[in-house]
């Protein structure tokens, strides 16, 4: 683009209300009710006459309508030179409400409106009509507004209607400005023409009556009132009023009722009869009128969207910018000539009239869109173009490419406001078709974030060419025009269905000769390529030069086509998310007590994510599944994962060394890099079929739904299998040599049926490497085999912790239960002892009595048995004793507690009794073998409410227990205690139990 030409988005200032609404202009559909009765924030800007005049282009028809009203109410004796009753009957979105508001301002604020450009034209035309100027106040007319689309029959609004109920009464209340005496005088005469005329004359001022959307009231509205008397009165009043208005001087009436051939409102038989009756009265008494025509589109748009006209030099420079391409012989032969572009012959004038829109786009709006029955001419066009200019202006502000004139390929479908304005404009009426085209816009043209879509990808991926900077969105522009031509269907007058090849090329043109027709051909060919371009486009072959090929987007999608289209829109984030979801769902802990999944965080390093994931859980064997989006092994891409695992297992160096205590009991499931690639491909297939199945066009088609359901199930099965195979690696902390260094070890499954996502498979594989004990492998002998000399004397809590924290010790299949059983069995077999803090042996009668949390009980090697006669190590045969310096032999062997010994080598009695160990004595000895500990067990069930005194007794009991615990006189506790107590006390007790690692059950009574 020539730098000296000011771009339109700088030459024109978009109205602030459009900018503040981000292009989604709010007040396109004007409301007469809000303009008249709106208060505060609900009062729209166009309620001010000056602003209304500023945004209103004075079309000939609107000017004529307001002139007729001005002459009728302000022309004095010349009032008969203007019609009394005017009916606005054009379809939706044609400017009826806009015209009613103009009429209201003309009568209610004549001096303010007549100062605007619109008002000045009305005044000039009225002067020409009556031969003199009208008074600036139009003789102070009075306005009666009946906004029937905001009035419920039989349900008045006190603030607006006062005591009035019927339509006639509401008319009177507004006519007399709430004068109750006049209202009561004429209230009974709802069908008396003379009285109605007398009432109007009683105001003693010109009167303008505006009845907006009258069908909303007399149609189904009166049916809903279910008041036959009210229906009769309201219909009779309207019939009388339409006759009276013609007979009363200086009275004008403006009625809005869409012609029946343009109105699709469903009516009851009674409502239809009322409509027909009113329609015949309006045809007899009133003159139909419209306020816009297609020729006004460009002027209306520019006035509505921008707050000033463009400078003449900008228009001239912009027109000149395009002339070289418009006069190029090749473009003329292959493009301009075949599309019969009439605007080309009047190029300068057309640019001046349409700026900033390309004459080709404006011609489509005038000649094609306006012919569509459901299209709301002015309203829809303003919405579409307001969203368009705002979106393109935003691109220009950030330095992106913006066309010199907005053409038919430049409506940015990536902007939701533009896309929805198009689809909701009436060009497409069927909801299912609208939904289909919404999908096609994103799939085939461009998606919401402008990063995908068949056409958009071609522009992004295109290698740099000579015209890249001048036309960076060539494919998107071509596809956008095909989209616009497709949504109109077969209603393109004289053009057939879809877009012709020359039209599509024209939509890609730019005012720069570096972009040639050959380049346009290449862009279109790539766009239509079934493998790389739009897959939903259908091509109607051409027939010679006069009948070129035509293209249109078909909404009759096959399932494969839809899947192909959706596949292109799936992002890496979506793909990785579904893989993560599947991995979590497919994983099972097996013998591992806990299963954890570490979610990828791309914005952080793999090491930071693992280091802060809270994985160091005490006394718990854990299978930790790592998200494939951030972690994988092999194929030269494993370094970040290895580093992260090294730090997570406490093997890091320097600042990377974390205080990890329980790394030995954590096992990591990691995906294989190469197999992850296959899983990612299948994840995209799964997502594409999932989205296709959820699409409205599939859900509403039984055949497509059946196909989609079958393919979705197959894609899900394939993804599950591939993901299980992809999780091929297991990483864990190893130390096979108890005196060696700890290190990170790995286990790889080579067969197709094993997966690291299955905790049972992982456990069995680790058992073969002596990292874990499999079920039933850990017993008393295994316990002693894995204990070193330094382990004896350690507390039970230390021994327990070692089996979770020391990698030299294998993990236990049943965890604490296996360790309790092994200790019990070892004690029972005499292989080991459990002793208290002073070395006294503690009895272990059941596995669950082994308190692994105890910091007072220890494991010890069993003490050797001694001869009870000589006190030395147990032996066979006679023992030797020393008595008075002499040596003799005894017969004690194993040395039971009650065995005796008799000296055979000396007559001197031994110094001590061999039975009781006391000094030698005559006769029988008395032995007192007192036990160091005793077992106490008791149970009780007592209601302390019935026996208040028992509370003190139990307090003493528990105080005794407390003292015994405090003085370390209890070495073992077992029991279940069930209490019913105060809520606060229960909370305190629960906290104490938690500190002991005891799970307490608390429930409300």
* Helix (H) / strand (E) containing 52: helix 49-55
Q: Which whole number is the average pLDDT over 31-36?
A: 88
pLDDT in tens, 658-696: 888 999 999 999 999 999 999 999 999 999 999 989 888
Asked if 738 and 778 count as a contact pair (C-beta separation under 8 A), the reply is: no
Of 572, 631, 634, 573, the C-alpha closest to 597 is 631
Burial class (CB in 10 A: 0-12, 13-18, 19+), 726: buried
Which of 46-55, 445-454, 624-633 has the highest average model confidence (pLDDT)? 624-633
Distance CA 164, CA 148 (A): 15
pLDDT in tens, 100-117: 999 999 999 999 999 999
Distance CA 597, CA 585 (A): 10
Phi-psi region of 164 (alpha: psi -120 to 50; beta: other; left: phi over 0): beta
Percent of the chain at pLDDT > 90 equals: 49
Q: How far is CA 413 from the centre of its chain?
A: 20
Distance CA 937, CA 587 (A): 46
The reported pLDDT for the residue numbered 893 is: 44
Given a cut of 80, whether residue 436 has pLDDT beyond it is: yes
pLDDT band at residue 969 using 50, 70 and 90 as cut-offs:
confident
DSSP-derived secondary structure letter, 735 = -
The reported pLDDT for the residue numbered 206 is: 95
The reported pLDDT for the residue numbered 953 is: 78
pLDDT in tens, 789-830: 888 988 999 999 999 999 999 999 999 999 999 999 999 998
Distance CA 638, CA 642 (A): 6
Given a cut of 60, whether residue 908 has pLDDT beyond it is: no
Q: How far is CA 485 from the centre of its chain?
A: 32
Q: In terms of pLDDT, which residue wins out, 894 or 149?
A: 149
The reported pLDDT for the residue numbered 213 is: 87
CA distances in angstroms from 147 to 54, 97, 217, 290, 741, listed in the order given: 24, 10, 9, 19, 90
pLDDT in tens, 536-559: 788 888 876 678 888 888 776 567
> What is the signed CA dihedral for 883, 885, 891, 895, rounded to 10 degrees?
70
Distance CA 127, CA 581 (A): 77
The reported pLDDT for the residue numbered 470 is: 93
The reported pLDDT for the residue numbered 873 is: 65
pLDDT in tens, 228-257: 889 999 999 999 999 999 999 999 999 988
Evaluate if pTM is beyond 0.95. Answer: no
Given a cut of 60, whether residue 892 has pLDDT beyond it is: no
pLDDT in tens, 335-391: 998 887 788 889 999 999 899 999 999 888 877 777 665 566 667 788 888 899 999
Distance CA 836, CA 825 (A): 18
The reported pLDDT for the residue numbered 413 is: 93
Distance CA 967, CA 959 (A): 12
pLDDT band at residue 946 using 50, 70 and 90 as cut-offs:
low
Q: Which whole number is the average pLDDT over 600-609?
A: 93
Given a cut of 70, whether residue 223 has pLDDT beyond it is: yes
Q: What is the CA radius of gyration of the chain?
A: 48
Q: In terms of pLDDT, which residue wins out, 899 or 973?
A: 973
Q: Which whole number is the average pLDDT over 873-883?
A: 61
Q: Which whole number is the average pLDDT over 297-313?
A: 82
The reported pLDDT for the residue numbered 887 is: 46
3-state helix, strand, coil in the chain (%, to 5): 50, 10, 45
Q: How many helices and strands in the chain, by DSSP H and E?
A: 41, 17
Mean pLDDT is lowest, of 288-297, 327-336, 759-768, for: 288-297
Q: Which whole number is the average pLDDT over 759-765?
A: 96
The reported pLDDT for the residue numbered 894 is: 43
The reported pLDDT for the residue numbered 869 is: 66
Q: Which whole number is the average pLDDT over 961-977?
A: 75
Given a cut of 50, whether residue 507 has pLDDT beyond it is: yes
Given a cut of 80, whether residue 403 has pLDDT beyond it is: yes
The reported pLDDT for the residue numbered 972 is: 72
pLDDT in tens, 108-148: 999 999 999 999 999 999 999 999 999 999 999 999 999 99
pLDDT in tens, 271-297: 888 888 888 888 888 788 776 665 566
């Amino acid at each position: 683009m020539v730098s000296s030409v000011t771009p339109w988005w700088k030459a024109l200032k978009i109205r602030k209300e459009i900018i503040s609404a981000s292009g989604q202009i709010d007040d396109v559909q004007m409301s007469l009710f809000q303009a008249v009765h709106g208060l505060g924030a609900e009062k729209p800007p166009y309620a001010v006459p000056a602003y209304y005049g500023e945004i209103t282009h004075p079309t000939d028809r609107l000017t004529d309508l307001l002139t007729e009203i001005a002459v009728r109410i302000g022309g004095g004796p010349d009032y008969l030179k203007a019609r009394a009753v005017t009916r606005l009957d054009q379809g939706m979105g044609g400017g009826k409400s806009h015209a009613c508001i103009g009429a209201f301002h003309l009568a209610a604020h004549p001096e303010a409106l007549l100062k605007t450009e619109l008002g000045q034209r009305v005044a000039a035309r009225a002067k020409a009509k009556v031969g003199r100027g009208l008074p600036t106040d139009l003789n102070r007319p009075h306005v009666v507004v009946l906004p029937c689309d905001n009035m419920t029959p039989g349900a008045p609004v006190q603030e607006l209607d006062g005591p009035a109920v019927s339509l006639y009464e509401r008319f009177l209340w507004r006519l007399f400005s709430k004068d109750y005496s006049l209202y009561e005088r004429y209230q009974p005469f709802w069908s008396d023409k003379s009285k109605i005329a007398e009432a109007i004359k009683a105001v003693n001022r010109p009167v303008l009556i505006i009845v907006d959307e009258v069908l909303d009231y007399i149609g189904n509205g009166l049916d809903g009132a279910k008041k036959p008397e009210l229906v009769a009165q309201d219909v009779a009043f309207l019939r009388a009023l339409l006759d009276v208005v013609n007979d009363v001087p200086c009275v004008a009436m403006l009625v809005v009722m869409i012609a029946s051939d343009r109105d699709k409102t469903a009516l009851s038989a009674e409502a239809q009869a009322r409509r027909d009756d009113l329609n015949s009265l309006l045809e007899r008494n009133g003159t139909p009128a419209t306020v816009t025509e297609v020729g006004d589109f460009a002027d209306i748009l520019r006035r509505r969207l921008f707050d000033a006209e463009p400078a003449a030099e900008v228009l001239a420079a912009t027109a000149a910018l395009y002339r070289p391409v418009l006069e190029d012989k090749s473009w003329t032969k292959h493009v301009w000539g075949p599309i019969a572009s009439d605007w080309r012959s009047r190029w300068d004038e057309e640019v001046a009239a349409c700026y900033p829109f390309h004459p080709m786009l404006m011609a489509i709006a005038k000649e094609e869109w306006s012919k569509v029955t459901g299209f709301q001419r002015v309203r829809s066009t303003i919405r579409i173009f307001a969203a368009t200019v705002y979106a393109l202006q935003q691109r220009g502000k950030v330095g992106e490419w913006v066309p010199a004139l907005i053409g038919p390929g430049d409506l940015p479908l990536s902007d939701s406001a533009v896309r929805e304005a198009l689809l909701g404009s009436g060009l497409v009426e069927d909801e299912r078709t609208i939904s289909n085209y919404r999908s096609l816009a994103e799939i085939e043209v461009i998606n919401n974030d402008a990063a995908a879509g068949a056409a958009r990808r071609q522009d992004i991926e295109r290698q740099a060419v000579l015209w890249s900077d001048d036309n960076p969105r060539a494919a998107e522009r071509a596809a956008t025009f095909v989209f616009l031509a497709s949504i109109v269907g077969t209603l393109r007058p004289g053009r057939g269905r879809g877009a012709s090849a020359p039209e599509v090329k024209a939509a890609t043109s730019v005012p720069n000769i570096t972009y040639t027709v050959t380049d346009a051909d290449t862009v279109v060919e790539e766009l239509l390529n079934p493998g790389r371009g739009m897959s939903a486009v259908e091509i109607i072959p051409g027939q010679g030069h006069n009948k070129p090929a035509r293209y249109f987007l078909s909404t009759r999608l096959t399932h494969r086509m839809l899947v192909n289209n959706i596949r292109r829109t799936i992002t890496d984030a979506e793909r990785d998310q579904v893989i993560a979801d599947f991995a979590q769902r497919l994983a099972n802990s097996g013998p591992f007590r806990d299963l954890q999944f570490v979610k990828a965080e791309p914005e952080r390093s793999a090491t930071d994510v693992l280091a802060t994931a809270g994985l160091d859980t005490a006394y718990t064997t854990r299978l930790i599944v790592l998200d494939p989006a951030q972690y994988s092994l092999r194929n030269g891409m494993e370094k970040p994962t290895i580093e992260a695992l090294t730090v997570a297992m406490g093997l890091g160096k320097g600042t990377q060394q974390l205080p990890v205590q329980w790394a030995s009991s954590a096992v990591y499931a990691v995906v294989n890099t190469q197999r992850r690639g296959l899983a990612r491909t299948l994840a995209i297939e799964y997502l594409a079929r999932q989205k296709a199945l959820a699409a409205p066009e599939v859900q509403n088609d039984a055949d497509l739904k059946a196909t989609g359901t079958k393919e979705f199930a197959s894609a899900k099965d394939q993804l599950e299998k591939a993901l299980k195979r992809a999780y091929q690696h297991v990483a864990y902390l190893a130390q096979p040599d108890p005196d060696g260094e700890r290190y990170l070890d790995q286990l790889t499954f080579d067969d197709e049926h094993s997966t690291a996502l299955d905790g049972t498979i992982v456990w069995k594989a680790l058992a073969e490497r002596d990292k874990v004990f499999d079920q039933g492998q850990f017993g008393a002998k295994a316990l002693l085999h894995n204990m070193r000399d330094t382990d004896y004397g350690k507390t039970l809590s230390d021994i327990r912790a070692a089996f979770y924290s020391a990698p030299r010790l294998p993990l236990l299949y049943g965890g604490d239960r296996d360790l309790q059983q092994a200790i019990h069995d070892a004690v029972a077999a005499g292989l080991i002892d459990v002793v208290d803090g002073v070395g006294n042996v503690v009895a272990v009668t059941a596995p669950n009595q082994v308190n692994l949390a105890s910091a007072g009980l220890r494991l010890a090697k069993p003490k050797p048995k001694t001869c009870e006669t000589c006190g030395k190590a147990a032996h066979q045969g006679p023992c030797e004793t020393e008595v008075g310096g002499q040596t003799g032999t005894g017969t004690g062997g194993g040395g039971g507690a009650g065995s005796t010994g008799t000296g055979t080598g000396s007559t001197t009695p031994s110094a001590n009794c061999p039975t009781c160990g006391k000094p030698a004595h005559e006769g029988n000895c008395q032995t007192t073998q007192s036990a160091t500990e005793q077992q106490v067990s008791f149970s009780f069930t007592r209601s302390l409410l019935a026996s208040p005194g028992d509370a003190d007794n139990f307090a003493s009991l528990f105080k005794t227990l407390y003292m015994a615990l405090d003085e370390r006189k209890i070495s073992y506790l077992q029991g279940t205690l069930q209490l019913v107590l105060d809520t606060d006390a229960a909370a305190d007790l629960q906290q104490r139990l938690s500190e002991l690692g005891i799970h307490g059950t608390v429930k409300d009574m």
